[in-house]
Amino acid sequence: MQSPESELIRILKENRVDFISSLPCEKIKALLYRITGEFNHVPLTREEEGVGISAGIALAGKRPAMFVQSSGVGNMINALLSLTGFYELPLAVFVSRRGIFKEKIAAQLPMGQHLPGILKGAGIPYSVISSRDDFGLIEKKLPGVYRNSKMHAFLLSPAIFEDTSDTGILKSTSHPITGSSKGYQSKKMKPQFIRFEILKIIAPYLDAKVVVCNLGFPSKELFNIKHQQSNFYMLGSMGMATPIGLGISLASDKEVIVIDGDGSLLMNPGSLATTAHFAPPNLTILALDNSSYGSTGGQPTLTGSCVDLALVAKGFGIKNIVKAASMKQLTDALKKHQKGLRFIHALAVPGNKDVPAIPLHYLEVKKQVMKFLKS
């Protein structure tokens, strides 16, 4: 008889799952070890980040899945609703349900026990997988996830994997730190332009590239300046721009530019670590830093007092970093066609341009981007 790990992997492969993102869970550690060797695997720093990466993978026409534990589902709810569900993207989430079987950590009990009610209240479809006999539910439900572009959570009882949880585990190994103090050095620059003006300066360099644009005013301004079918305009899910761009760049050979912001990057900085880990050669992150939450009233962010995003990116392992403020610095940073992950820290003056809302339906935006990626 196949092990439960082998049986579940068989189901995933039969459904042509391309990429699996995961965070560790002791209850399914043997399964997670197997997955890292048999699929395109994305190790995450936070569950929410995986939702964004999976969205990018789905936009590129591939099939994503996630493996997390129940304690991390709370970190995903908003992104699942305002990104995956909102744009009707496929995602299968396999949840190691803590707090219901031989649980030794009391703090795992509340989320594990209330998880079905939380998912039901959020309107997220789920199936309870209590034993191997319930794997038939996975075989029944999983094809519809990808056929109908829906999300579905499969709540896996740790009891299923009790007899195999201590086998086939990868021993930890140490790796040398590759960063060097001889790399990027922080420079003090004075911002010269508001974000709208910067977008006008860089617009010629966005032609025929996939552009993932941060939510709120940045997306409205970009639409006003340079709408193209390859622009993915975010309407919610703050902090997900870079993860979405990373997902697209991993699943496609198209050149991808992420237009992110200081507030969004501070909300989900671990995504820079995951990006540095893969260092996709077709990805550029343009961090427009105006030291303010521009879409919510201009409240100051911490980049105005203590945080240098370029140094943050360097600390997470991104090697090709440029700080830019003048027109020449901005254009020089973008017109170089060298391959490799790039992080452009573009300093901006706070302020928004009064532009109308994007007139396109959000599902039409998704459709156009997917059509471009498929071409």
Q: What is the pLDDT along the chain (375 residues), one digit of tens a residue?
A: 789 999 999 999 999 999 999 999 999 999 999 999 999 999 999 999 999 999 999 999 999 999 999 999 999 999 999 999 999 999 999 999 999 898 889 999 999 999 999 999 999 999 999 999 999 999 999 999 999 999 999 999 999 998 875 554 444 444 444 444 455 667 788 999 999 999 999 999 999 999 999 999 999 999 999 999 999 999 999 999 999 999 999 999 999 999 999 999 999 999 999 999 999 999 999 999 999 988 888 899 999 999 999 999 999 999 999 999 999 999 999 987 667 999 999 999 999 999 999 999 999 999 999 999 999
pLDDT at residue 173, rounded to an integer: 43
Global pTM? 0.94
Q: How far apart are CA 202 and CA 200, in angstroms?
A: 6
Query: Please, where in the chain does CATH 3.40.50.970 lie?
Result: 4-164, 195-374
Beta carbons of 53 and 16 less than 8 angstroms apart: no
pLDDT at residue 165, rounded to an integer: 53
Q: How far apart are CA 195 and CA 253, in angstroms?
A: 28
Beta pairing class for 299-300 and 292-293: antiparallel
pLDDT at residue 179, rounded to an integer: 46
pLDDT at residue 163, rounded to an integer: 82
Beta carbons of 261 and 287 less than 8 angstroms apart: yes
Beta carbons of 92 and 66 less than 8 angstroms apart: yes
- The angle subtended at Cα 3 by Cα 48 and Cα 111, nearest 5°, is 35
Q: How far apart are CA 322 and CA 310, in angstroms?
A: 8
pLDDT at residue 337, rounded to an integer: 64
The full DSSP string for 239-251 is T-HHHHHHHHHHH
Type and span of the H or E element at 277: helix 270-278
Fold of the domain built from segment(s) 4-164 = Rossmann fold (3.40.50)
CATH superfamily membership of 195-374: Thiamin diphosphate (ThDP)-binding fold, Pyr/PP domains (3.40.50.970)
Type and span of the H or E element at 156: strand 151-156
The full DSSP string for 207-233 is TTSEEEE-TTHHHHHHHHHH--TTEEE
